[in-house]
Amino acid sequence: MVHQDDKRTIVNLFTDVVGDAVHLFQTEIRLIRAEINEKFSRLANGGTLIAAGGVAALAAVFLLLQAIVRWLAVAGLPDQWGYLLVGIVVAAAAAGLLIGGINRIKSTNLMPDRTLDQLKADFATVKEHVQ
């Protein structure tokens, strides 16, 4: 003789499946949040490089102004050479920082790909077990 406690009903099994699916969904939402936070962190790092490039560009302006004073004090070189040499070096450094930051931002995909793939796999598994 089978006791009622030993035998689970379809309703109880369905309730358990729904509860597990809800728990899985909540876990996946937390994973999506973590992945999006990681991607925004990469964007922030790229923005930092762009800001550093901007500071270097500003420093280029100050160095160019100082080059005017220095080259006028130096033995007879035209001030145009001072503009050119100092400006090229600092502009190259600023360009390197700006390009590095822009490339880092371009390479960042904000879509939480790993989590979406995991969600698809989870739903496929749940679908298999429900059928």
pLDDT digits (tens, 9 = 90+) for 59-77: 887 877 787 667 656 757 6
Q: Residue 58 in contact with residue 131, Cβ under 8 Å?
A: no
Which ranges of the chain have pLDDT less than 50? Answer: 1-2
- 82, with CB counted inside 10 A (0-12, 13-18, 19+), is buried
pLDDT of residue 53: 93
pTM comes to: 0.43
pLDDT of residue 31: 86
pLDDT of residue 108: 74
pLDDT of residue 77: 66
The domain limits of the chain are: 10-130
